């Protein structure tokens, strides 16, 4: 397990924690109370559990000998209100971490669940997360990691790829680069000259000319070195359509470029991808941003269920340990 820096643990339990947990800790310490409690964590809807890896790293630093943690594995499906983790330890050791733990599970599970919906909609076609630009940069790579837990095969940022255990981030070229060159073919050839061989030669083809025309120009110029073209047509031009993808495919094939793939991005959602799949659009991979990065979090709750071995919880909940046969001892 990766060691968590002490200052980050202090951050999670201090300035990033709801202040009432600190006030509770101060009050309990002054009163001489620090019982062993059993706390259970659950979400409010179905989805994929994600963020558990980070949560367990936090708890491994915070807890001590004799403490227990039971949890579902990262990426596991979960039902609404299913217990996904149970902690048994002195309250002082982890009580102030509740905000951080719930936040990790809420955001990451929301992103992973949305990614799984998109991936399922793609029906086996590769999906790459391009959503880091839609969230704060301090959390973008974590969102991309969650997207890979949901089934995305790649992500755009180097740190996201590192967290996900991928060999490299995924990305082609931005419109900005092509605009500066002033010509797509010139930009593509320069990219090919200067990039390392392990960088896929995938060229954006919607900047200056008709996408089908530009695809042919690039394919003729690069030959077998061209791996694919990316369609990212803006909404002002009607976005990428099923008909456009089919036309580009036919024109490339007729010109002898059957091996050139077609990569589609720009406002792709699970619903749109389902439409493309149902129509048999010849897409080799989808780049998906907002449909994953803007996913609502799954609301997680933490409840004390036992205090010093005795069943005790708040009104409306059932006291005592909840049967959760899928949990496994992890700490």
Q: Which residues of 114-149 are buried (b: 16+ CB within 10 A; e: fewer)?
A: bbbbbbebbeebbbbbbbbeebeeeebbbbbbbbbb
Specify whether the CB–CB gap between 52 and 145 falls below 8 A.
Answer: no
- Among residues 112, 114, 45, 109, which one has the least CA distance to residue 79? 45
Residue keyed to tokens 């990790």: 104
Per-residue pLDDT, 7: 80
Low-confidence ranges of the chain (pLDDT < 50): 1
Q: Which pLDDT belongs to residue 3?
A: 53
- Structure confidence at residue 8 (pLDDT): 86
Domains of the chain with bracketed CATH: 6-109+297-329 (3.20.140.10), 112-293 (3.20.20.70)
Q: Which two tokens stand for residue 166?
A: 């991928």
For residue 109, what are the β-bridge partners?
none
Q: What is the DSSP letter of 166?
A: -
Residue 1 is predicted with a pLDDT of: 43
CA distance 201 to 229: 8
Query: In angstroms, rounded to a whole number, what is the distance separating the alpha carbons of residues 147 and 140?
Result: 11
What pLDDT, on a 0 to 100 scale, did the predictor assign at position 139? 95
**pLDDT value of position 261:** 98
CA distance 73 to 50: 9
Q: 88 vs 72, 91, 307, CA distance in Å?
A: 15, 9, 10
Residue carrying structure tokens 């005592």: 320
Residue 82: what pLDDT? Answer: 98
> CB burial class (10 A; 0-12, 13-18, 19+) of residue 30?
exposed
Q: Check residue 172 and give its pLDDT.
A: 87
């Amino acid at each position: 397990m990766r060691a968590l820096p002490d200052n980050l643990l202090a951050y999670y339990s201090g300035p990033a924690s709801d202040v009432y947990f600190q006030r509770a800790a101060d009050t309990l310490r002054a009163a001489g109370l620090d019982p062993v409690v059993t706390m259970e964590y659950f979400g409010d809807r179905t989805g994929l559990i994600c963020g558990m890896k980070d949560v367990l790293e936090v708890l491994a630093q915070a807890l001590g000998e004799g403490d227990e943690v039971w949890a579902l594995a990262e990426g596991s499906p979960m039902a609404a209100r299913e217990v996904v983790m149970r902690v048994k330890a002195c309250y002082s050791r982890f009580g102030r971490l509740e905000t951080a733990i719930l936040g990790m599970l809420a955001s990451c599970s929301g992103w992973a669940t949305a990614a799984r919906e998109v991936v399922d909609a793609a029906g086996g076609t590769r999906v790459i997360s391009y959503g880091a630009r839609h969230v704060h940069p301090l959390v973008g790579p974590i969102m991309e990691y969650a997207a890979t837990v949901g089934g995305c095969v790649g992500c755009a940022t180097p740190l996201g790829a590192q967290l996900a255990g991928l060999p490299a981030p995924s990305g082609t070229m931005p419109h900005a680069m092509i605009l500066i060159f002033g010509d797509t073919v010139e930009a593509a050839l320069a990219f090919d000259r200067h990039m390392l061989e392990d960088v896929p030669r995938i060229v954006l083809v919607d900047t200056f000319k008709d996408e089908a025309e530009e695809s042919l120009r690039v394919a003729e110029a690069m030959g077998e070195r061209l791996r694919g073209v990316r369609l990212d047509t803006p909404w002002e031009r009607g976005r990428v359509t099923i008909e456009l993808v089919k036309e580009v495919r036919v024109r490339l094939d007729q010109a002898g470029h059957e091996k050139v793939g077609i990569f589609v991005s720009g406002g792709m959602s699970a619903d749109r991808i389902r439409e493309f799949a149902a129509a048999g659009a010849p897409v080799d991979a989808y780049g998906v941003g907002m449909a994953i990065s803007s996913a609502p979090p799954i609301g997680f709750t933490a409840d004390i269920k036992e205090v010093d071995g005795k069943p005790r919880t708040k009104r409306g909940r059932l006291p005592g340990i909840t049967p959760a046969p899928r949990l496994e001892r992890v700490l």
